[in-house]
Amino acid sequence: MAQRILLFLLIISLAGCVSSKKYLQRGQYDKAIEKSVKKLSRKPDKKDELGVLKKAYHMAMEEDEKRIKELRMTGQPSVFEEIYHIYEQMENRQNKVRRLPNKVLDRIDFTYKDYAREKINAQKKAAEYLYAHARKLLKSDSRFDARKAYNELKRVQRILPSYKDTDQLLQHALAKGQTQVLFTMTNNSRTPLPEGFKNELFKISMADLNSQWKNYDTQARDGVNYDYYIDLKLKAIMVSPEQVKQSEYTETKTVDDGWEYVYDENGNVKKDSLGNDIKTKKTKTISCDVLETRMRKHTTIRGRLEFIEAGSDQVIKTDPVTAEWHFEHEYIQTNGSIDALSKKTKKKLGVKPVPFPPSEAMILNAASVLKEMSKEAIYRHRRVFE
């Protein structure tokens, strides 16, 4: 990582070392002008920079004027946007140079030109052309033409803000250019769905999947012609029987049980080197009988997502989905000393028996999992929608 940073800093440093003369030789006139202006702002009498600035400035202006002339000769209304931007560029270049001292301007033969009239004329004609072209595109039934219209209108805004009803047309183009996708569900499982299943499934949040040109709905909106459908076809809904398994085992542990004297072969209490009686710890083994009950039940929903083109009803993509929900509960009953139990077994103390959840609740929980899986699949395949 450090090497990359050093390489980046080196590139920046080398880029900063390019002289104005070198930029001039490369034909990068505006970069040459920018470099020379900075240097001449500090040292107005620097002859080399005066020569570079004079040549770069006049060649840049000459090139731009030549380009404007070429564009005008085409007679195409589409050229006025470029003409407008060229005039902007010429104005900015001129204003950058004119801030230099007068003695510098005299030595580079600088003459100020007012481009305001030409610029405003190009600005109006460019906005007029783009606006008219956008309106023409919006008459098409194609959402892709609407997107082109949107881009044209954004250019109008950049060139001439508040031009006519551009803001309203932009909203219209945005709505018309969106790909509309509707998420639906078909139950082919032959299993009746519990109440609330559809509501849970259609709680799927599509907001973070939406983008400028794509909109996802889980409920059909009036007046919207959908371009694609994502149909979740349920194939099977299975709930396992309730399973109860019990196992019995005994856990034991050796614990301290006081102390006792140590006797010699004559039956006398042994003494240590200091004359104290020698004692030793006593231990005993404790035990606890455990009856462990394990409850199991699970549900599985299998289906597939079908990505369908609305106009032709053609399935353009499929993706299988399987959602599962497991109920697992364990509790124990004990008989004996609980101090004999391991830490793992002790964690189960106090856990109470509970009833099995009804199958309907299990299916609803699986629907919540299915909802998130469906969203992930839609995100993975979002590029199938144009």
Tell me, yes or no, whether 53 and 153 share the same domain: yes
Distance CA 386, CA 227 (A): 9
Contact 97, 105 (CB under 8 A): yes
pLDDT at 13: 44
Query: Is 377 domain-assigned?
Result: yes
Tell me, yes or no, whether 152 and 297 share the same domain: no
For the CA atoms of 267, 273, 277, 279, what is the dihedral angle to 10 degrees?
-90
**Domain termination residue (choose one: 125, 159, 174):** 174
pLDDT at 2: 53
What H or E segment, with its residue span, contains residue 254?
A: strand 243-261
Tell me, yes or no, whether 163 and 22 share the same domain: yes
Tell me, yes or no, whether 146 and 255 share the same domain: no
**Domain termination residue (choose one: 174, 189, 211):** 174
Amino acid at 199: N
Number of domains into which the chain is organized? 2
Query: Is 337 domain-assigned?
Result: yes
Tell me, yes or no, whether 366 and 264 share the same domain: yes
Count each helix (H run) and each strand (E run) in the chain, helices first: 12, 6
The token duo for 202 is 């259609």
**Three-class DSSP labels, 277-326:** ECEEEEEEEEEEEEEEEEEEEEEEEEEEEEEEECCCCEEEEEEEEEEEEE
Tell me, yes or no, whether 28 and 170 share the same domain: yes
Tell me, yes or no, whether 116 and 251 share the same domain: no
Higher pLDDT, 2 or 31: 31
pLDDT at 16: 55
Domain that holds residue 257: 239-384
**Domain termination residue (choose one: 149, 174, 199):** 174
Tell me, yes or no, whether 274 and 145 share the same domain: no
Query: Is 93 domain-assigned?
Result: yes
* pTM of the entire predicted model: 0.74
pLDDT at 7 over 70: no
Query: Is 61 domain-assigned?
Result: yes
Query: Is 9 domain-assigned?
Result: no
Query: Is 219 domain-assigned?
Result: no
- The pLDDT confidence band at residue 3, using thresholds 50, 70 and 90, is low
Tell me, yes or no, whether 139 and 260 share the same domain: no
Amino acid at 307: F
Give the chain's largest Cα–Cα span: 132
Q: What is the pLDDT of residues 135-178, one digit of tens each?
A: 999 999 999 999 999 999 999 999 999 899 999 999 999 999 99
Query: Is 160 domain-assigned?
Result: yes
pLDDT at 263: 80
Contact 69, 61 (CB under 8 A): no
pLDDT at 1: 54
Contact 253, 339 (CB under 8 A): yes
Tell me, yes or no, whether 161 and 257 share the same domain: no
Query: Is 227 domain-assigned?
Result: no
pLDDT at 10: 44
Q: What is the pLDDT of residues 52-92, one digit of tens each?
A: 999 999 999 999 999 999 999 999 999 999 999 999 999 99
pLDDT at 4: 57
